[in-house]
Amino acid sequence: MSSRDTNTDMSALASSPALVDWHLDLVGDGPAREVAAVRLRELLLRAARFEVFRRRGMLPQLSPTELDDLADEAASDAAMSVLRRLDDFRGESRFETWAYKFALLEAAVKVRRRAWRGREVTLDPEGWERFAAPDVDPEHAELFECVREGIRTALTPHQREVLVAAVLDGVPIDVLAERLDSNRNAVYKTIHDARTRLRAYVADAGYLEVT
Protein backbone atom coordinates (compact mmCIF):
# COMPACT_ATOMS: atom_id res chain seq x y z
CA MET A 1 0.00 0.00 0.00
CA SER A 2 1.37 3.42 -0.95
CA SER A 3 1.82 6.24 1.55
CA ARG A 4 -0.95 8.09 -0.25
CA ASP A 5 -3.33 5.16 0.25
CA THR A 6 -2.31 4.99 3.90
CA ASN A 7 -3.03 8.68 4.39
CA THR A 8 -6.41 8.27 2.69
CA ASP A 9 -7.34 5.35 4.95
CA MET A 10 -6.24 7.25 8.05
CA SER A 11 -8.26 10.27 7.00
CA ALA A 12 -11.35 8.12 6.54
CA LEU A 13 -10.87 6.52 9.94
CA ALA A 14 -10.33 9.89 11.54
CA SER A 15 -13.71 11.12 10.32
CA SER A 16 -15.59 8.01 11.39
CA PRO A 17 -18.25 8.68 14.05
CA ALA A 18 -17.72 5.16 15.37
CA LEU A 19 -14.55 6.25 17.15
CA VAL A 20 -15.71 6.79 20.72
CA ASP A 21 -13.45 8.87 22.94
CA TRP A 22 -10.98 9.03 20.08
CA HIS A 23 -9.17 11.92 21.72
CA LEU A 24 -7.82 9.53 24.38
CA ASP A 25 -5.62 8.06 21.67
CA LEU A 26 -3.78 11.37 21.40
CA VAL A 27 -1.82 10.57 24.55
CA GLY A 28 -0.70 7.18 23.28
CA ASP A 29 1.59 5.95 20.53
CA GLY A 30 1.35 4.09 17.28
CA PRO A 31 -1.34 3.99 14.56
CA ALA A 32 -4.19 4.90 16.92
CA ARG A 33 -2.49 8.16 17.83
CA GLU A 34 -1.82 8.95 14.17
CA VAL A 35 -5.49 8.43 13.35
CA ALA A 36 -6.55 10.64 16.26
CA ALA A 37 -4.03 13.31 15.22
CA VAL A 38 -5.46 13.34 11.68
CA ARG A 39 -8.97 13.71 13.03
CA LEU A 40 -7.88 16.53 15.34
CA ARG A 41 -6.12 18.37 12.53
CA GLU A 42 -9.17 18.12 10.26
CA LEU A 43 -11.44 19.37 13.03
CA LEU A 44 -9.21 22.35 13.79
CA LEU A 45 -8.73 23.21 10.13
CA ARG A 46 -12.50 23.37 9.62
CA ALA A 47 -12.81 25.66 12.62
CA ALA A 48 -9.92 27.88 11.53
CA ARG A 49 -11.26 28.21 7.99
CA PHE A 50 -14.68 29.15 9.32
CA GLU A 51 -13.22 31.90 11.52
CA VAL A 52 -10.75 33.24 8.95
CA PHE A 53 -13.37 33.53 6.21
CA ARG A 54 -15.88 34.98 8.66
CA ARG A 55 -13.37 37.78 9.32
CA ARG A 56 -12.16 38.12 5.73
CA GLY A 57 -13.49 41.67 5.58
CA MET A 58 -10.51 42.67 7.76
CA LEU A 59 -8.13 41.35 5.08
CA PRO A 60 -9.51 42.46 1.71
CA GLN A 61 -6.04 42.35 0.20
CA LEU A 62 -5.70 38.58 0.67
CA SER A 63 -6.79 36.03 -1.91
CA PRO A 64 -8.79 32.91 -0.98
CA THR A 65 -5.58 30.90 -1.26
CA GLU A 66 -3.80 33.21 1.16
CA LEU A 67 -6.74 33.04 3.56
CA ASP A 68 -6.56 29.24 3.36
CA ASP A 69 -2.86 29.41 4.20
CA LEU A 70 -3.64 31.59 7.21
CA ALA A 71 -6.26 29.10 8.36
CA ASP A 72 -3.82 26.23 7.92
CA GLU A 73 -1.25 28.04 10.05
CA ALA A 74 -3.87 28.72 12.72
CA ALA A 75 -4.94 25.07 12.72
CA SER A 76 -1.34 23.91 13.20
CA ASP A 77 -0.79 26.26 16.14
CA ALA A 78 -4.13 25.25 17.63
CA ALA A 79 -3.22 21.58 17.36
CA MET A 80 -0.03 22.16 19.31
CA SER A 81 -1.98 24.05 21.97
CA VAL A 82 -4.55 21.28 22.27
CA LEU A 83 -1.89 18.61 22.59
CA ARG A 84 -0.06 20.61 25.26
CA ARG A 85 -3.24 21.05 27.26
CA LEU A 86 -4.90 17.66 26.98
CA ASP A 87 -4.75 17.30 30.75
CA ASP A 88 -6.93 20.41 31.06
CA PHE A 89 -9.87 18.69 29.35
CA ARG A 90 -12.36 17.69 32.05
CA GLY A 91 -15.14 16.29 29.90
CA GLU A 92 -17.58 19.06 30.81
CA SER A 93 -18.36 19.39 27.09
CA ARG A 94 -17.58 17.31 24.02
CA PHE A 95 -13.89 17.15 23.24
CA GLU A 96 -14.61 18.47 19.76
CA THR A 97 -16.30 21.55 21.25
CA TRP A 98 -13.40 22.13 23.64
CA ALA A 99 -10.76 21.74 20.92
CA TYR A 100 -12.73 23.79 18.38
CA LYS A 101 -12.34 26.89 20.53
CA PHE A 102 -8.55 26.71 20.27
CA ALA A 103 -8.75 26.99 16.50
CA LEU A 104 -11.25 29.85 16.64
CA LEU A 105 -8.96 31.78 18.96
CA GLU A 106 -5.81 31.13 16.92
CA ALA A 107 -7.56 32.11 13.70
CA ALA A 108 -8.93 35.32 15.19
CA VAL A 109 -5.51 36.26 16.55
CA LYS A 110 -3.80 35.64 13.21
CA VAL A 111 -6.38 37.67 11.30
CA ARG A 112 -6.02 40.60 13.67
CA ARG A 113 -2.24 40.48 13.54
CA ARG A 114 -2.23 40.28 9.75
CA ALA A 115 -4.68 43.19 9.55
CA TRP A 116 -2.35 45.30 11.69
CA ARG A 117 0.84 44.23 9.93
CA GLY A 118 2.73 47.33 8.84
CA ARG A 119 0.40 49.65 10.75
CA GLU A 120 2.00 51.91 13.29
CA VAL A 121 1.00 51.47 16.91
CA THR A 122 1.79 54.63 18.85
CA LEU A 123 2.40 53.86 22.51
CA ASP A 124 2.13 57.31 24.01
CA PRO A 125 1.33 57.66 27.73
CA GLU A 126 0.15 61.20 27.04
CA GLY A 127 -1.99 60.23 24.06
CA TRP A 128 -5.19 60.62 26.07
CA GLU A 129 -4.77 64.41 25.80
CA ARG A 130 -5.85 64.44 22.17
CA PHE A 131 -9.37 63.29 23.03
CA ALA A 132 -11.63 66.28 23.43
CA ALA A 133 -14.86 66.34 25.43
CA PRO A 134 -17.87 65.24 23.37
CA ASP A 135 -20.71 67.62 22.62
CA VAL A 136 -22.98 66.60 25.51
CA ASP A 137 -24.82 68.24 28.39
CA PRO A 138 -22.73 69.98 31.09
CA GLU A 139 -23.12 67.16 33.62
CA HIS A 140 -21.67 64.54 31.30
CA ALA A 141 -18.99 66.96 30.13
CA GLU A 142 -17.87 67.29 33.74
CA LEU A 143 -17.74 63.51 34.06
CA PHE A 144 -15.65 63.31 30.89
CA GLU A 145 -13.19 65.84 32.29
CA CYS A 146 -13.05 63.88 35.53
CA VAL A 147 -12.15 60.74 33.59
CA ARG A 148 -9.46 62.64 31.68
CA GLU A 149 -8.01 63.93 34.94
CA GLY A 150 -8.13 60.43 36.41
CA ILE A 151 -6.20 59.08 33.43
CA ARG A 152 -3.62 61.80 33.94
CA THR A 153 -3.15 61.51 37.69
CA ALA A 154 -4.35 58.09 38.87
CA LEU A 155 -2.65 55.85 36.30
CA THR A 156 1.00 54.99 35.75
CA PRO A 157 2.55 55.96 32.39
CA HIS A 158 2.48 52.29 31.34
CA GLN A 159 -1.19 51.94 32.29
CA ARG A 160 -2.00 55.11 30.35
CA GLU A 161 -0.26 54.01 27.17
CA VAL A 162 -1.86 50.55 27.24
CA LEU A 163 -5.33 51.92 28.03
CA VAL A 164 -5.11 54.54 25.28
CA ALA A 165 -3.86 52.03 22.71
CA ALA A 166 -6.33 49.26 23.53
CA VAL A 167 -9.46 51.14 24.54
CA LEU A 168 -9.24 54.46 22.73
CA ASP A 169 -7.19 53.61 19.63
CA GLY A 170 -8.71 50.14 19.26
CA VAL A 171 -5.45 48.22 18.98
CA PRO A 172 -6.22 44.48 19.41
CA ILE A 173 -4.85 42.91 22.59
CA ASP A 174 -2.86 40.39 20.58
CA VAL A 175 -1.19 43.08 18.51
CA LEU A 176 -0.51 45.22 21.56
CA ALA A 177 1.06 42.31 23.44
CA GLU A 178 3.27 41.58 20.44
CA ARG A 179 4.42 45.20 20.10
CA LEU A 180 5.12 45.39 23.85
CA ASP A 181 7.02 42.10 23.75
CA SER A 182 4.56 40.86 26.35
CA ASN A 183 1.58 38.47 26.43
CA ARG A 184 -2.21 38.70 26.45
CA ASN A 185 -2.57 38.02 30.16
CA ALA A 186 -0.13 40.77 31.11
CA VAL A 187 -1.90 43.28 28.87
CA TYR A 188 -5.32 42.28 30.20
CA LYS A 189 -4.05 42.73 33.76
CA THR A 190 -2.68 46.18 32.97
CA ILE A 191 -6.03 47.24 31.49
CA HIS A 192 -7.93 45.74 34.44
CA ASP A 193 -5.72 47.54 36.96
CA ALA A 194 -6.02 50.80 35.04
CA ARG A 195 -9.82 50.58 34.93
CA THR A 196 -9.95 49.73 38.64
CA ARG A 197 -7.86 52.80 39.51
CA LEU A 198 -9.83 55.00 37.17
CA ARG A 199 -13.17 53.81 38.51
CA ALA A 200 -12.02 54.45 42.08
CA TYR A 201 -10.89 57.97 41.12
CA VAL A 202 -14.22 58.79 39.48
CA ALA A 203 -16.08 57.33 42.47
CA ASP A 204 -14.04 59.43 44.89
CA ALA A 205 -15.03 62.47 42.83
CA GLY A 206 -18.67 61.61 43.51
CA TYR A 207 -19.75 60.51 40.05
CA LEU A 208 -20.39 56.82 40.68
CA GLU A 209 -20.21 54.10 43.29
CA VAL A 210 -17.49 51.46 43.26
CA THR A 211 -19.10 48.00 43.02
Domain around 162: 127-204
pLDDT at 127: 60
Q: What share of the chain is helix, strand, coil (3-state, %, to 5)?
A: 70, 0, 30
Mean pLDDT for 48-63 is 94
Please write the tens of the pLDDT for every residue from 30-54.
888 888 899 999 999 999 999 999 9
Do 94 and 147 sit in the same domain of this protein? no
Quick check: 104 and 112 in contact, CB under 8 A?
no
- Total structural domains in the chain? 2
> Cβ of 21: how many Cβ atoms within 10 Å?
9
- Tell me which of 37 and 119 has the higher pLDDT: 37
Do 99 and 148 sit in the same domain of this protein? no
Question: Is residue 121 included in any domain, yes or no?
Answer: no
Q: With bands split at pLDDT 50, 70 and 90, how would you rate the model's confidence at 208?
A: low
Please write the tens of the pLDDT for every residue from 159-183.
988 888 887 777 888 888 888 889 9
- For residue 121, pLDDT over 70 is answered with no
* Integer Cα distance of 103 and 111 in angstroms: 12
Q: With bands split at pLDDT 50, 70 and 90, how would you rate the model's confidence at 197?
A: very high
Do 141 and 185 sit in the same domain of this protein? yes
